[in-house]
Amino acid sequence: MRRRALLSGLLLAAAWALLPGVAAAYEEVSILTSDGTLHDLRAGTALELGVVDASILPNSYLIDWTSKAQNGAVTTAILPDTISFYSKHGLDLAYDDATSTLLLLWTEDIGAYSQIRIGVLHNGAWTNSMLVPSSGISQAVNPKMIVTHNTVTYLDQTGATVTKTSSVLSVAWWEWAQYAQARYATLFLDESDDPTALTIYDVPSLVGTNGATSTANLTDGSYLFPGLQPDGLTGSVILAYADLHDQRERVLRFDFPTNWGRETPTDVNWKRRHIPIVGVMMDGPAARQTPQVANTLDGVHTTIGRGYQPTLSWTDADGSAVRYTQLSGADWAPVRSIPVSVQMTADQAQALVVSMAQRN
């Protein structure tokens, strides 16, 4: 169960993807874990969050955490290495029951560029990732994360057969750097809770496209928002993205090895156990019907259906309608809309579009 509260104007949401340094004044996300513990995380300045500490300036940005257990015990803390003059936004939470790991994802604006950070709570202690990527001047925007599970088998060092659940954290985002492209990262939580151990991939290179990129004749709404979802209960991950090397929209499926071979550093299967197996499930032209992000209320939402068809949807900047288009066959369908009214709110209309998109 999740609760999200943005306590400043929604009109700033679209600017997050385009204007580093502009973010909601106070952002909060919560999650209820299976043991009944409620975790609440907030990002803002010390003044906005009501944090009073002589060592923290009122205009410093930070992330604080509160957990409330079923027995009434309350724990509070400021996440390590989050106190700075850099704004933090786009908070997202996930919890992995198999490893009892809480994950926090956020975007951090640093001057003229932005990066993604991941915090991990395990065994009562928080650790944070280095900025992803950790080098170069870039803009990383619109991250998404999910946790999926696979049943894997291998021989341990004694030759005994081991069967266990492997928990895979997947993160996808859009990045402006040397090239404009989607990126994808994985962390196997059953083997490491260190977010600095993320393995990062340039998504286009996974299907053999590389080189110069172009946004000619495309709106930013057509490519800034990769979609990331689990593929049902299979343990696989599906990713929809725009490839600006050849201006194609693709849906990829990531599978992970389940036969890990033998637990030795020389075993080929063991060395390959974390390498994703990538398949192209849908390939079509990049969308040209989507608006500029500045003309939407909160950006563009990407939903991937059961037939691996991506649907892009958005709310007009004035809140008057929710609109969407779907890649079907060789081209995108005409843009369709649901007018927003007292009887049909934007959230309700968006939920209907997502439900439709998921069935197709």
pLDDT band at 3 (very low <50, low <70, confident <90, very high): very low
CA 200 to each of CA 55, 79, 163, 197, 355: distance values in angstroms, whole numbers, following the listed order: 36, 24, 27, 9, 31
Confidence of residue 173 (pLDDT cuts 50, 70, 90): very high
- Judge whether 200 and 184 are in contact, CB under 8 Å: yes
Which tens digits make up the pLDDT trace of 16-26?
A: 334 334 444 78
Is residue 2's pLDDT more than 70?
no
β-strand pairing of 259-262 with 139-155: parallel
Report which residue type is found at 228. Answer: L
Q: Which of 180, 45, 36, 139 is nearest to 97 (CA)?
A: 36
Q: Residue 304: is its pLDDT beyond 90?
A: yes
- Report the run of H or E that residue 270 belongs to, with start and end: helix 268-271
Q: Is the pLDDT of residue 44 over 80?
A: yes
Distances (CA, A) of 238 to 228, 310, 328, 335: 6, 10, 17, 24
Q: What is the mean pLDDT of the chain?
A: 91
The DSSP bridge partners found for residue 309 are none
Element (H, E) at 252: strand 248-255
pLDDT, tens digit, for every residue of 243-284?
999 999 999 999 999 999 999 999 999 999 999 999 999 999
Order across the sheet with 237-243: list the strands. Answer: 227-230, 237-243, 248-255, 277-285
From the list 18, 17, 39, the residue with the least C-alpha distance to 28 is 39
**Rounded distance between C-alpha atoms, residue 201 and residue 172, angstroms:** 10
Residue 4 has pLDDT above 50, yes or no: no
Element (H, E) at 205: helix 203-206
Q: Which residue has the higher pLDDT, 313 or 128?
A: 313
Q: Is the pLDDT of residue 207 over 50?
A: yes
Q: Domain locations in the chain?
A: 1-131, 141-288, 291-360
For Cα atoms 242, 248, 251, give the angle at the middle one, nearest 5 degrees.
Answer: 60
Average pLDDT over residues 305-319: 96
Rounded percentage of the chain residues whose pLDDT exceeds 90: 82
In the predicted structure, residue 309 carries a pLDDT above the cut 70? yes
What is the mean predicted confidence (pLDDT) over 207-232? 95
Q: How far apart are CA 15 and CA 30, in angstroms?
A: 23
Report pLDDT digits (tens) over 64-108: 999 999 999 999 999 999 999 999 999 999 999 999 999 999 999
The per-residue b/e assignment along 189-223, b for 16 or more CB within 10 angstroms, e otherwise, is bbeebebeebeebbbbebbebeeebeeeebbbbbb
CA 241 to chain centre: 13
Taking only the tens place, the pLDDT of each residue in 123-159 is: 999 998 877 766 567 889 999 999 999 999 999 999 9
Q: What tokens appear for 158 in the block?
A: 């004694």
Question: Stretch 163-188: mean pLDDT, rounded?
Answer: 95
Contact (Cβ atoms closer than 8 angstroms) between residue 62 and residue 49 = yes
Residue that the structure tokens 């925007």 belong to = 141
Q: Which of 133-147, 197-211, 302-316 has the lowest mean pLDDT?
A: 133-147
Predicted pLDDT of residue 232: 87
Work out the average pLDDT over 286-294: 96
* pLDDT tens-place string over residues 320-351: 999 999 998 889 999 999 999 999 999 999 99
Q: Which residues sit opposite 156 in a β-bridge? A: none
- pLDDT for 12 equals 32
Amino acid 17: pLDDT = 38
**Rg of the chain taking only CA atoms, in angstroms:** 21
Q: CA 276 to CA 236: how far, in whole Å?
A: 10
